[in-house]
Structure formats: C-alpha cells, structure tokens
Structure 1
Amino acid sequence: MVSSSRLPSPWTVSYGQTFLVLGSLLICFLLLLFIRQLVKQRRPRGFPPGPTSLPIIGNIWSLASEPHVYMKNQSEIHGPIFSLDLGGISTVVLNGYDAIKECLVHQGDVFADRPSLPLFQKMTKMGGLLNSRYGRGWIEHRKLAVNSFRYFGTGQKTFENKISEECMFFVDAIDEHKGKPFNPKHLVTNAVSNITNLIVFGERFTYDDTDFQHMIEIFSENVELAASGWAFLYNAFPWIEILPFGKHQRLFRNAVEVYDFLLKLIQRFSQGRMPQSPRHYIDAYHDEMEQSTGDLGSSYSLENMIFSVGELIIAGTETTTNAIRWAMLYMALYPSVQDKVQREIDVVVGSCRPPGLEDRLRMPYVEAVLHEVLRFCNVVPLGIFRATSENALVRGYTIPRGTTVITNLYSVHFDEKHWSNPDIFSPERFLDSQGNFVRREAFLPFSLGRRHCLGEQLARMELFLFFTTMLQRFCLQFPAGFVPSLTPKLGMTLQPLPYNICAVRRQQ
C-alpha cells in the first residue's frame, strides 16, 4: 500500500512552470505598456501634422543635437505650426514670427499655461514663478516680482548708479589681467548676478565669494541638463527615476543642493526685517505671506519663495551673462565693428565719465550691435515651454487643452521673410539710411504675450551699461593664433564654448 504522504499534490508546481507563468505575466504587462504608449502617441483629430515618430520614444532623439535648427527645418516641410511626439507627450511647435504672434498675442490667455511635465513637477511642484500654472499662483508671484523690480530696481533712479558701480567693479577686475588672456565667463557671471542680487537680497556678493559662485555654477549646469536627452526621457518615462545613473539624477542632486543654499540665504537676509518696510524681494515676500495667513487659496509659502528666488537669480543671470559673453566674442571677431562702437562711445561719452542710460538715444550703432547679438546668437532659442489652458483653434488645427507648446524663437530671428541674409552678422540691419536706430517687429529675444520676460527692461539696462563701460576702457582681441568656435553649447540657453580673450587698455 502506497503511503499517502508520497502522493503528488495538485498544488505542487515546478520551478520551470513558475518561471513560465511569471514570464508570461511580464510579457503581457510589457505588451500592455507598449500598446498604451502607442495609443498615447496617436495624434488627436485635427492636430497639426509632423515628422514620422519612432515607437515608444517618438521624436526625442531628433532633439539631441540643435533642436531649434531641427524644428526650423521641419517647419519648411510641415508648415509653421507642426507637431512632435516626445515619447507620448503630444507637442506643438510654433515657428516664424507670424505664427508665434498669432498664438501668444492674439490668443494670449490660451497659450499662457505651463505643461505639467514630470520634470517641472519634480523640480518646483509647478509652483514658484517661471514654472507655475496659469492661474492665481502665477498672477500673485508675477505681480510681486514686477513690483519688486520697480520698487527696488528699474523704477528707482539710484538703481542705475548701482549698476554703474558694478560695472566699475567689473572693469577693474578685468584690468587685473593686464591685457593677458583670461576666460571671462565667471567674471561676467558674478557681475551680472549681482544686479539681480541687489533686488532679491538688497546687496551684492564679492567676486571671491566661493559659496555663491558654486551655487551659480550648478544652477547654470541645471539649465544645460534640463534640455538634455535624459530630461526629455524623464518627461516621457518618469519611472527611470529608479535608475541610479543618468544626467537627470545629477540635475536632481544639484537642485537639492541649490535649494538648501537658497534657504540659508533667505534666512540670513530675513534677519532684522520690519513688517511692511521691505528692503528687498525677500522682505516683500514675507509681507505677502503674513497678509495671506488664513487664505487657503494663497500660493505664498516658504517653499514657493525658495523656488521663485532661485528662478529670479538664474533667469536674471544666465541670459544676460551669455549675451555679454557672445558680444565680447563677436567684438574680438569683428574688429571693425568694435572700432565703430568705440568711436561712438568716444564722441558721445568721452573718457572722463562712465556711460549712462541717457546716452542710449545718441548711440544708435551700439544699440544696433546689441540687438544683432541678441538676434544672431539666440540666447534662449526655444523660450520656456508653454501649454494651452483650454482647447485652441489655430489656422484650422485643433490643439487640445494641456498640450505642450514650444515657441521656436530661433526661427523668428532667422525668418527670411523678415530678415535679409539672416545667417550674416550685420548690425546695419537695425539702422536706416541716415544711421538712425530702427526697431524691427520680428525681434523676440524676450518672447511675447503673458509669459514674456519680466526682466526685459533690466536686461537691456545691464547689456548697455556693461557693454559700453567695458569697451570705453578696453580693446578686446583673441590671443595670438587662437581661433574661436562659434558653435554654441546646447541647453535651455545657447552659450559660447569656453574661450580666452585679451582686454587691452585703450590709449585715450
């Protein structure tokens, strides 16, 4: 008689069978994910056409190198309004001045939102100022920022003197190199950031403040990383956060370090605060938080203060810094242009006093050069991504609410409909036959519409004063035998590759 303990149990399953069942379940799960991704990649009815996309990743790899150039080229095939698939994220790209104006101005409210991309949600939780959704939070923070810029900055006549003072610190620091080659990046960055620091913190930081310099450096690195292929992949597949490698992980580590440092700065500059007697942006923000106590709908919070302070610093630093670095590079590259600039400075200002803002109207060639630098170098080629706040109808296309929208500002500045020979650096395009400065409609370095750059006026002041003060004192030239690269370093901004330059004292 056979023992019952030796009878095979109906529940006994071999390891091979277990592996087969789990493998089948995994395959089914992956198949479902694949089908779901393909469904997400289907263009909605009435959506703009676009280039063929790959399964799963869509058109992400096409943006790995010079995405602004790729988008302009695609607009010549599919029209000024076309679509891209960023790994299941349906995106509309606006190219050329006419299409961008039609959307950002004529339908400004509709195209004023920010996309709820995983990267933005991870970095700022869609709060703060630049990345906040179009609604009360954005209105509150933009109003506070604009009022702070007026009250502590551009609205005060004494603020021009503070910029001029920083310009003198800047040229004195350049002078220490005694005409020998140096990389101007860190010096320009520190000088420019101090102008925003005056508004945000009420004081400047010295050029040897290594802690602040380090914060600006990793902030700048994040501006580059936020436009990398890894950032696009993270937006499409946020689950890759579990991977221990990838540039997105460095971006997140940088953000944590910066936010910790900003919190310490906020605490430091909040000391001695008198309610309703603000000394700077941080004090003004504290006043708003106190006034909104008990208002559950208010967006003012310590966390959003950290986000907005960081955004004001990097937005006020990165763009203007790169514009000045490009301007220095092109002055050394085109000595004849530099000579005309200096002759105009000599005639209007002379050498006995520093340039002032009142000189701008009498210096049309300087204005033309600075405008051509901004046009030609496209410091922020794709602006900051937007989203539709409601369903939109543009030129017969239907763009659903929440669609990510990219404004290709590069395509505006190289639009042959508005610029003759746009690939040539020519300040004369901003001058009339009598040599007077002429404003051009298709000039959008600060974007358009509700989300246009709130620091435009400040940026223009800085560019003019730093540029003219520098060229009043120095001639810029490259070291002997050095050939600069004009290929930009890609990121959310386009910055020149590192270069050395000689600033030689002018004989006056």
Structure 2
Amino acid sequence: MDAAAAQTLFLAGCLSCLLFFFIWRTVHQRGNLPPGPTPLPILGNLLQIDTNGTSKALMKMSETYGPVFRLYFGPRLTVILCGYEVVKEALIDRGEEFGRRGKMPSFQHYFGEDGLTFANGENWKQTRQFSIMTLRDFGMGKRGIEERIQEEAQCLVEVFRKTKGLPFDPTYIFSQASANVICSIVFGDRFDYEDEEFRGLLKKINESFFLVSSVWGQLLDMFSSIMKLLPGPHHKITRCFEGLEEYVLKKVKQNQETLDPNNPRNFIDSFLIKMEQEKDNSSSHYHKENLSKTVLTLFIGGTETLSTTMRYGFLILLKHPEIEEKLHEEIDQVIGREQIPCLEHRNKMPYTNAVIHEIQRFSNLLPMNVPREVTRDVHFHGYTIPKGTQVFPMLHSVLRDPTQFSDPYSFNPGHFLDEDGGFKKSNAFLPFSAGKRVCLGESLARMEIFLQLVSLLQNFTLKCNKPPKDIDISPATSNFSNFPCFYELSVVPR
C-alpha cells in the first residue's frame, strides 16, 4: 500500500471514529434530556439555524419543542431556555446550578479563564468582588462618577455642534464618549476625540464584536478545533484583543513606574497594590495576566454595549420623530435649555425614562446572553441537564416575552408607562442579564445613557436624509450581538 492510500485510509478511519463517537454520545445522552430537533453527525443542528438571526431561529424552535429544549451547536450539546419565567428560575432562583460560565472560543482563545466575563470558581469570585469594590472606590454609583459623565456628555454636545448640520456617522463618536468614562476610572484619564491611537483602539473593539457575531465567529465557537487550523477573518478576533492588550500593558508599565502604594490613582494602581500584597501567595489570582484581562474586560464592556445602545437609540428616534418631540417637551419642562441634566431629573421625567428602557429592551444587544454551564446534573422542568452542559438563557425571549410586554416586537414606550403616564417597572427588563453574573456596570451604563441622551436632545433636533418610513430599525446583524444598520444623521441646534 502506497503512502497516499495509507493516508486516505487513516483519514477515513478517523472520520468513522468521530461519526461513531458522535452517534454513541447522542444516543447515550438522550435519557431524560429536553426534546429537540434531530442532529446530523458532526454538524449537529447547524443547518437548521439561520446564521444571521440565530436568536429568532431558536425562538421559532421553542414553539415546537417548548421553553426548555436541546440542540447541538456542532458536536456540543446545548440547552436553550426561553421565556421570562424559565430564564428567571435558572439565573436567579437556581443561580448556583446555572452559575458557571460556558465556553465561547471566539473570546476564550484570548481571555482564557482570566478577567471578569469568562473566569470561573474562586478566580471569578475574587476578581469580581475586587472589581466591584475598586470601581466604587473610584466613584461608580456615587456623585463623583455622575460629574464625570456630565462633563463627557457636554464634550459630546460640543462634538455634535462642530458638525454644523452636516450628515455624519455617529458610531465612533458614541464609542469615544462611552470609552472616556470607563477610561477615567481604569486608566485615570480620558482621550481627546481627535486622538488617533484612541480611534484605533475603538476600531479594534468594534471589529472584534462584529466578527464574533459573524458567521465566521459562530463557526469558530461551534468547531473551534477545526476553525483554528483554517484561514479566515475569524483569526482577526484574537489579533484585535492582542492589539488592545498591548495598549493596556503599556499603561500598566507606566503605572508601575510611578506607583504610590498609599495613593492609588485608578483601577490599575489598585490592582498593582493588591498584586504586591499577595506576591508571596503562590495560588494568588492577582497577577499581571489577570490584571490585563480584567482591565480589558472593563474597557470593552464599558464601551461597546453602551455606545451601540446609543447608536440604536438615535436610529429609533429618527424613525419616530413624534417620540423625539415628546422627549423635547419633557426636557424643556423639567430641565429647560440652560441647566445641565443630572440624575435627580430622571425621577421627574417618566416619559424619558420609559423611552430609554424601551430602547434597551428593543435593541436587545445580547439576544442569546453569554452562555452558562450547569455545575451538576440538574433536574429542570421535568428534564435532566447533565453536568457541564452548555446553556443559553435567551435574553431575546425575555425582552420579547408576550406575557410581559403587550406588543413585544414593536417599539412602544408604553411598555414602561402606567395609565397615569407614570414610569412603570417591569421584572422582565433584563438587558444586563440577572443573578450572580449580572453585568457589574449596569448602574454606570444606565447613568450614562440617561445623561448623554438628555444632554444631546436638550441641545439638538435630529435629522436624517431618509423619510422616517424608509428607516429600517431591525438589526443588521443578529447573532451574539445585535447591531443596528449603518446610518448617518445631522443635528440642528434648538
């Protein structure tokens, strides 16, 4: 037998073994698993999922298989949870059992188990607790951070004013404003909007999220072992993160050279001080690798989701000028044209508060949520979910739950208004997820959205070169993240 024939036989044998293993595991796992569509060998249920609308495809499947069902993302068994009641039960009522972070190779090829998002166990607990306490020390949730956001909102107003009524793409302007707030906490300073290095960092963040949500990113998450060997744009994801980390490590080095242990200036200083305190602890989680990944998590998280929310929100207001007009009326009535908006105004502005909540509900930025893994064999809604199984608690299904929102697929601020026009809370408002792994920047994000949006609408009326009826507010991409369609707007001083 020649070498080519032997190689062919070997490959055929490997494929046969993989096929046998997949069939054996699928049959072996059935037991009392939730129901779901029949998977194909190796591919799983890939061909039954719309790769540019995964969350909608999964919602469609839930109509057939119920609120708890299983499918295979490639060879990996995955359980999908749909609807407010089911997701709430998993994330809040049974948070320990559903509390482990699931695998997303598109991120974890770079982050591993360091940082805040993909860490588990004691590493995650200590890093999260330290981050929450340190962020509070530097003003998060306090008056100090409100003043920083107000200052940045006024910078944003001036940038809009400089456009002089000409159409512009707001993508990176919103990114710069959002990034500067978290940068002031993490790095201790802000960037000028004309800073080319700053723009380069934001471009890497935007590109990495877009690629993770692309078909290439999905294939990487489903078939990571194979996709790592194949050429394609998915390799840019890790390169983007590495480029961002290079900047973070440069800042870490600068801080080390000027560090005063008695006077921490920012998050990096505080982490360096903690590293020094634990330098003799061989099992410490406070090391440079975790520092860079944690800082990067905060930088990305404090930039991308907030800026995309603002970009989506302004697109929605261009589609609904009647809503913008009501916002102008309430802003004029409560704040006027001269006073700088502050958080105290929010409780006096029910319509504005309702619109902001509806923007977050409708934009639905992380429709599938970040995956979880069950920490033990879990008996859930009459089924058994084996230990280590990946679970997606679908935020899309919560924010679009018809039992919680009367018209879930339409933009309607009335979802958050009572009969008297007062603001009405909803337990199903979970854009930041819920439970032990709820986004730790939730309070900061809500402050920023309110102060930025109100400051801009206090000063400008929005215009678009398209009539409202032609503006499309459905997402351009809808997989891991929802991204609005590209658009340009112009602003007219009020």
Q: TM-score under structure 2 normalisation?
A: 0.95
Structure of higher CA gyration radius: 1
Sequence identity percentage: 35
Shift in Å, 1:255? 2.4
Distance 1:290 1:213 in 2: 33
2:45 pairs with 1:56: no
| 1:427 aligned to which of 413, 419, 441 | 413
Shift in Å, 1:243? 3.3
| 2:10 aligned to which of 13, 25, 37 | 25
Alpha-carbon contact 1:202-1:280 (below 8 Å) kept = yes
2:77 pairs with 1:122: no
| 1:36 aligned to which of 8, 15, 21 | 21
Superposed CA deviations along residues 98-135 of structure 1, whole A, max 9, x for unmatched, are 000111111111111112454454221211111101x1
Distance 1:157 1:20 in 2: 73
Distance 1:236 1:39 in 2: 19
Amino acid at match of 2:77: S
| 1:493 aligned to which of 477, 481, 490 | 481
2:89 pairs with 1:102: yes
| 2:184 aligned to which of 185, 190, 198 | 198
Shift in Å, 1:316? 1.0
Superposed CA deviations along residues 460-481 of structure 1, whole A, max 9, x for unmatched, are 1001000100000000121256
Amino acid at match of 2:445: A
Alpha-carbon contact 2:364-2:482 (below 8 Å) kept = yes
Alpha-carbon contact 1:193-1:313 (below 8 Å) kept = yes
Shift in Å, 1:505? 0.5
Q: What SS class does the counterpart of residue 12 from structure 2 fall into?
A: helix
2:168 pairs with 1:182: yes
Name the stretch that deviates more: 467-476 or 117-126. 117-126
Alpha-carbon contact 1:474-1:504 (below 8 Å) kept = yes
2:123 pairs with 1:137: yes
- Over the aligned positions, Cα root-mean-square deviation in angstroms equals 1.8
Amino acid at match of 1:23: T
User: Would the alpha carbon gap of residues 365 and 18 (structure 1) be closer, same or farther in structure 2, given more than 3 Å must change?
Assistant: closer
User: Would the alpha carbon gap of residues 18 and 439 (structure 1) be closer, same or farther in structure 2, given more than 3 Å must change?
Assistant: closer
Superposed CA deviations along residues 124-178 of structure 1, whole A, max 9, x for unmatched, are 1211111101x11001111121112211132431221111110011010000111
User: Would the alpha carbon gap of residues 351 and 102 (structure 1) be closer, same or farther in structure 2, given more than 3 Å must change?
Assistant: same
Distance 1:66 1:230 in 2: 14
Q: Which runs of 5+ in 2 are unaligned?
A: none
Amino acid at match of 2:110: M
Name the stretch that deviates more: 40-49 or 387-396. 40-49
| 2:463 aligned to which of 465, 477, 499 | 477
Residue of structure 2 in register with 1:171 after alignment? 157
Superposed CA deviations along residues 194-244 of structure 1, whole A, max 9, x for unmatched, are 111111011111111111221221122212222333334334433325535
Q: What SS class does the counterpart of residue 70 from structure 2 fall into?
A: strand
Superposed CA deviations along residues 346-382 of structure 1, whole A, max 9, x for unmatched, are 1110112111101011000000000111111101111
Shift in Å, 1:19? 4.1
User: 5 Å matches for 1:312-331?
Assistant: 312-331=298-317
Alpha-carbon contact 2:67-2:81 (below 8 Å) kept = yes
Amino acid at match of 1:503: V
Distance 1:22 1:74 in 2: 41
Shift in Å, 1:451? 0.5
Q: What SS class does the counterpart of residue 313 from structure 1 fall into?
A: helix
User: 5 Å matches for 1:19-418?
Assistant: 19-42=4-27, 43-61=29-47, 62-133=49-120, 135-241=121-227, 243-418=229-404
Distance 2:42 2:238 in 1: 24
Q: TM-score under structure 1 normalisation?
A: 0.92
Q: What SS class does the counterpart of residue 100 from structure 2 fall into?
A: coil
Q: What SS class does the counterpart of residue 303 from structure 2 fall into?
A: helix
Q: What SS class does the counterpart of residue 434 from structure 1 fall into?
A: coil
Alpha-carbon contact 2:35-2:65 (below 8 Å) kept = yes
Q: What SS class does the counterpart of residue 421 from structure 1 fall into?
A: coil
Alpha-carbon contact 1:83-1:93 (below 8 Å) kept = yes
Amino acid at match of 1:136: E
